[in-house]
Amino acid sequence: MAAEIRVFPCLSDNFGYLIHDPQSLKTAAIDAPEAGPIMKVLQREVWKLTDILVTHHHADHVGGIAELKKTYGCKVTAPHDQGTAIPEVDVRVAEGDIVQVGALTARVFETPGHTLDHICYVFDSELALFSADTLFSGGCGRVFEGTYPMMWQSLKKLRTLPDDYRVYCGHEYTAANMKFCLGIDANNEALKNRADEVAQLRAVGKPTIPVLLGLEKKTNVFLRADDPAIAAAVRLKGFSEDDVFGELRERKNKS
């Protein structure tokens, strides 16, 4: 039986996610931006929260953990870096570890850059990548704790997944990211089509997520820092892919 995934808003622009295994009736939240919206969806679906899978320590991803743990007694799985402020952790995981949610299996990818402890969860049977604040639709996270080369390597790691995997990212930043990408890659027909789709979805209050990773590979300039056309567009023809990625991220920081 296929997993059931629910997508819903939290805080001002975070996504909340629940993934439910119909076989075991176990349910995991991917991060916990705030407890209220997560509990509301659980009540609507008549699901019990058994797990919280944390991607990194930022407050807008862990703020609801304590209340959810108190209410449901759920298990909290988090990155292995014990120096970060993540409450109520039961299990620490690192690159290559496997996380079970009933019959569902997630692989752990370490993706440092946005933070040093950042991890992503990949549910291969569901073709689902929960990328949090490493990869957004049309963008990537700000580099707060790592370096630009580190973040670029993390994005390349995610880029190796097959095109038919769906990306579930941490924030609804897609419209702004489309505007930025079009400023770099204005003649990209796939990007123009995606920007139109995003505008239509947001106009009626619908989320822009999930999105196919294959489409991201075609339209997200941050996944294409090794593309000579992108290097030329930012006037860094012949420079290293690290330099190109750094220039893209610097431009986005100022946009």
Instruction: State the catalytic residue, choosing from 20, 57, 58, 118.
Output: 58
What lies within 8 Å, CB to CB, of 24 at 6+ separation is 101, 102, 103
Question: Sheet holding 4-10: strands in order across?
Answer: 4-10, 14-20, 26-30, 48-53, 75-79, 91-93
* Annotation marks residue 57 as catalytic: no
Q: Which residue among 57, 114, 118, 185 is the active-site one?
A: 114
User: By the 8 A CB rule, do 132 and 56 touch?
Assistant: yes
Give, rounded to a whole angstrom, the gap between the first and last alpha carbons of the chain: 44
133 labelled catalytic: yes
Among candidate residues 61, 117, 118, 185, the one labeled active-site is 61
Q: Can 60 be counted among the known catalytic residues?
A: yes
Q: Which residue has the tokens 């009626």?
A: 204
Catalytic residue among 20, 56, 57, 118: 56
Q: Tokens 């946009």 belong to which residue? A: 255
The pair of structure tokens assigned to 15 is: 């996504």
Which residue numbers are catalytic?
56, 58, 60-61, 114, 133, 171
